[in-house]
Structure 1
Amino acid sequence: MDSEQRHNVPVRGDERSPVEATDDATVAAPPSPALDEEPPAPGQWLGTSSSTLNAIERLNAAIDEETERLEIRVSVDLEESSRRKNHGLLELTRAMRLAQGAAVDPRVVPHLARLRASLVRNQAALQIHLDAVRQVSAIIARSIQEVESDGTYSAAGSRRCK
């Protein structure tokens, strides 16, 4: 198992349990407590806090909106979209810090999996547009070079001199 795939998630106090992330964005639930132990109170679960779930959902909405606009080739204000995504990430980071030390709420896993899927889809849409911009800029640069060149130093120009 790669170190990138292993995450230590606190279960209780100082106990830590490794949770593996799989390729299909599923995460194993924390181990069940022993029979003589009480399960953690729902208020101690990561994600039970409405701020965490709201942050995940707002970030997901911002990403999905940008992706949909890119996919249907509608104008996208990338500066505003980037600002919304950055704000959502900051909000999620803060909510996660507040929940540090709490057990993972299994109810938050599908929300995080959906966020991950949205990020993958968004990355693919942005990559398509970035590749298109590179191709257009290469065409423009080539056209400018051809217009500015009188052919003196080009291979085609040297053949004309013979």
Structure 2
Amino acid sequence: MNSVEEKNELVTFEELEKQNRNNFNHFDYISYYSNQKKITSDLFISFYNLFWPQFIIYENMIFLEEKFSFDYFKDLKNSGNKPFEIEVWMNLINLDSFFSNAKYSDEFFPQMTYLSNEIVKLWKIKLSIDYPEKIFDVKSEIDKDTDEIFILHCQKE
């Protein structure tokens, strides 16, 4: 066990790859965490739902099933928001919130940008399969003040 593991810190893919003399891949990395760190299978299902989410339609608007809230919907609607604005706010995902314990480094931001762009690609595909008659704007945005990365979608007006 190396000093990083003894401190119970997260071990990066690159660290494990070096330890294994470059004989290490992303499937090994998943195995490492699921076996050594005792990650349960429901976490993998949760990640699956992030990458390939279920959507619902309500009042002709499309929402992430996991994020939909009738109360929040009513609040947004009663505040005078347009349908696309309601979709944006209801579907907004702060990607950084999933990785608050991650090591922030020069490599972290490009990795998160890459991840957010890949999620956007998958959501576009999923939405086009589920709702082929609708046109969506799916994108990743970076808050200039905080460097937080958001993923959002709405129907194009």
TM-score norm. by structure 2 comes to 0.30
TM-score norm. by structure 1 comes to 0.29
Point out which structure has higher relative CO (alpha carbons under 8 A, 6+ apart). Answer: 1
- Greater strand proportion: 2
- Greater helix proportion: 1
